[in-house]
Amino acid sequence: RLRVRCSAPGGFGASEAALEAWEARIDAADWVLARAGRKADERRLRAFAERHWEAGGRGVEQRLAQLKGLLRREVCGQVLLAAVERGDLRAARAALDRGASPEQRDALGNSAEELAAFAGHEELEELLFERRMRALPHRRLSAFLRREELLAAAAAAPPEVLAPFLTEVAGEA
């Protein structure tokens, strides 16, 4: 698992401007520009990439795209945590829109939603809850009830209440 750390005093930042700056840095990353401390290491790394990545059908470009995706998610997640701690709704929304997980956790294992609740940022807590729920698969209520149970309860309930549950989707019957 990739872990990205930042030694700057403000960490990754907690604003939309910080997100844009990190986006630019990540977009600028390129294998061609990579440098090693020693020329021999640089040649060995490039030879390894050609032998293992190119031969396996996964070119350098594909690996670089994967790395950029991982970096983007991790950095946006760290900015999300900082924005939540500061109570910055706009920055948190921007981080989520750019790929941060609403289930992002800090170093102590607290979720962003828990941090928002603890700090009393109700709007942020609602935003994170809503985004987290969006990602979960939701089954129809009728999936929890058998047709026979619904029919047995029909005598006690008005027909318009049960009608939505009695419809079947093609392939479910």
Give the pLDDT confidence of 51-71 residue by residue, as tens digits.
Answer: 777 766 667 778 788 888 888
State the pLDDT at residue 103.
Answer: 94
Average pLDDT over residues 99-125: 95
> What is the rounded CA–CA span in Å between residue 91 and residue 114?
17
Any idea where the domains of the chain sit in the sequence? 16-135, 140-173
CATH architecture of 16-135: Alpha Horseshoe (1.25)
The closest of 61, 121, 62, 59 to 90, measured between CA atoms, is: 121
Range from 59-63, 85-89, 160-164 carrying the lowest mean pLDDT? 160-164
Percent of the chain with pLDDT over 70: 84
State the pLDDT at residue 170.
Answer: 52
Check residues 131 and 164 and name the one with the higher pLDDT.
131
> What is the rounded CA–CA span in Å between residue 82 and residue 10?
9
> What is the rounded CA–CA span in Å between residue 119 and residue 84?
9
State the pLDDT at residue 55.
Answer: 66
Helices (H) and strands (E) in the chain, counts: 8, 0
The closest of 55, 50, 63, 113 to 85, measured between CA atoms, is: 113
**Average model confidence (pLDDT) across the chain:** 82
Average pLDDT over residues 88-104: 95
The closest of 95, 82, 94 to 121, measured between CA atoms, is: 82
Asked if the model's pLDDT at residue 12 lies above 80, the reply is: yes
Residues 6+ apart with CB under 8 A from 91: 14, 15, 16, 18, 19, 79, 82, 83
